[in-house]
Structure 1
């Protein structure tokens, strides 16, 4: 249970860090690149392990981790584009509603059971996520034409990412989880370096030293968020883990926004949080 709680805390910290990125006008792509740089360094320092190329390629999770590393940064780029065109509310909602995909994958791919309490809890969880996220301030991009294909891609992208994490966890037969996570982040880092380099060469952005500081903060938080969720997967089924995790992140982020950034909660937010508590209780009957 402690890993699940820590995963919720660190994942909420990722959203808080990104909020500060906007406040200090950081370059999102450069901060993302440095995030993966320091997440990679943190992971390799924790495991204290260096494999040769043959040993690395021989790992059961090697091929899948390449796809996962690309998928991490690909999904982030979709989220960035969707935020600018469809607004924060629709983008966040699409991301969090993706809890349906790993939950259903737990039933159809991993032979996990789904009792009636959990089924009702999942339905209430989706209702709670809609109320908590959509009940906030509307995005300032209402004048722009909404590109519905981006939120749809984010829905499938985020959900697929969660499923890939579960598959990687199952293929990792050793206890050295931090090494695998560090390698996944290293792949994301390489894609990030290519992206930022192309933007700098083409003159689409200018180098920002302050993005390094933001990347350090986000990188450490991001690594421990992923590390804790991987550890939690060893103790919980998907049908239990991901609904509680997503509800917890949305609820805690809303609370932090109210306390730290003085964001006002609407009646929909409060109703969503109440329903979320009920959903967690029902889903927890499987624990």
Structure 2
């Protein structure tokens, strides 16, 4: 269970660092770029994977998709945290499971039991309540669409990583090596474009923050894999523990430390998110 706890902590504190970096007016695009470099370095140190390009076209499509989507969704997540807070962003990220489950139900025609259907229905209501926001007069507050983009983005990533599990000609660490290299290059392009428009220069502060985010990002992935390995006979424990743990810890930090304000409907959405995840996890036992 300690691997699961460490994964939860790493996941939440990525969001914490992104929020604090905004308050310090650091360049979030540069931080995201350095993040992938240090995630790559961490991967090389701890797993030492070999570079392997011996894979077929479907695998290549998955890899290219991850290379592009991962840094883009990171930008969505950072902006969602800025405009809507850690609480709502963590809930949106975890409710992204609504996307792969809907994909399985409507596209691949997977047969669902009653518990999963109930969980899916509650998740849909939770999304509406969580994203609800009173009308604001300030323009910068009217950007809750980043929450929706975050939800959709992580949902697509989840589908892609589920496809990764079916790949037999490439180890997971070998795939991550290619993906981290590619994501670093894509994030550099995004960062260079943004810096040119804003006329900003490279800063060592952004590098340091990117290093911490990258190490935590890698830790989240690594510990999550180890949690699944150590609890291989009960994957539902990892699933429900990760999703609930991130929502609860993220909510506590957002409300108590960052003093984020939620409406009554938002709190109901948070509760419904936890209930939804419970039903979906329980459905795996039946």
Structure 2 length-normalised TM? 0.76
1:48 aligns with 2:48: yes
Equivalent residue, structure 2, for 1:143: 139
1:162 aligns with 2:176: no
C-alpha RMSD over aligned residues: 4.0
1:36 aligns with 2:31: no
Pick aligned residue for 1:180 from 175, 181, 185: 175
Instruction: Give the 3 Å change call, closer, same or farther, for CA 18–122 of structure 1 in structure 2.
Output: same
Q: CA deviation at 1:67?
A: 1.9
Pick aligned residue for 1:283 from 258, 261, 280: 280
1:233-244 correspondence to structure 2 within 5 Å: none
In 2: Cα distance, 1:106 partner to 1:237 partner? 21
* Alignment: residue pair count: 278
Equivalent residue, structure 2, for 1:16: 16
Equivalent residue, structure 1, for 2:250: 253
Gaps of 5+ in 1: none
Q: CA deviation at 1:68?
A: 0.6
SS in 1 for 2:55: coil
In 2: Cα distance, 1:108 partner to 1:244 partner? 27
Whether contact under 8 Å (1:40, 1:186) holds in the other structure is yes
SS in 2 for 1:170: coil
- Point out the more displaced range, 139-148 or 61-70: 139-148
Pick aligned residue for 1:223 from 212, 218, 225: 218
Pick aligned residue for 2:190 from 195, 206, 221: 195
SS in 2 for 1:20: helix
Pick aligned residue for 1:57 from 53, 60, 85: 53
Q: CA deviation at 1:30?
A: 0.6
Whether contact under 8 Å (1:124, 1:276) holds in the other structure is yes
Equivalent residue, structure 2, for 1:117: 115
- Point out the more displaced range, 243-252 or 219-228: 243-252
In 1: Cα distance, 2:183 partner to 2:62 partner? 13
Q: CA deviation at 1:249?
A: 2.5
1:206 aligns with 2:207: no
Instruction: Give the 3 Å change call, closer, same or farther, for CA 132–149 of structure 1 in structure 2.
Output: closer
Equivalent residue, structure 1, for 2:69: 71
- Point out the more displaced range, 153-162 or 228-237: 228-237
Whether contact under 8 Å (2:136, 2:142) holds in the other structure is no
In 1: Cα distance, 2:145 partner to 2:132 partner? 18
SS in 1 for 2:139: coil
SS in 2 for 1:226: helix
Whether contact under 8 Å (1:72, 1:161) holds in the other structure is yes
SS in 2 for 1:57: coil
Q: CA deviation at 1:27?
A: 0.4
Q: CA deviation at 1:232?
A: 6.5
Whether contact under 8 Å (2:54, 2:169) holds in the other structure is no
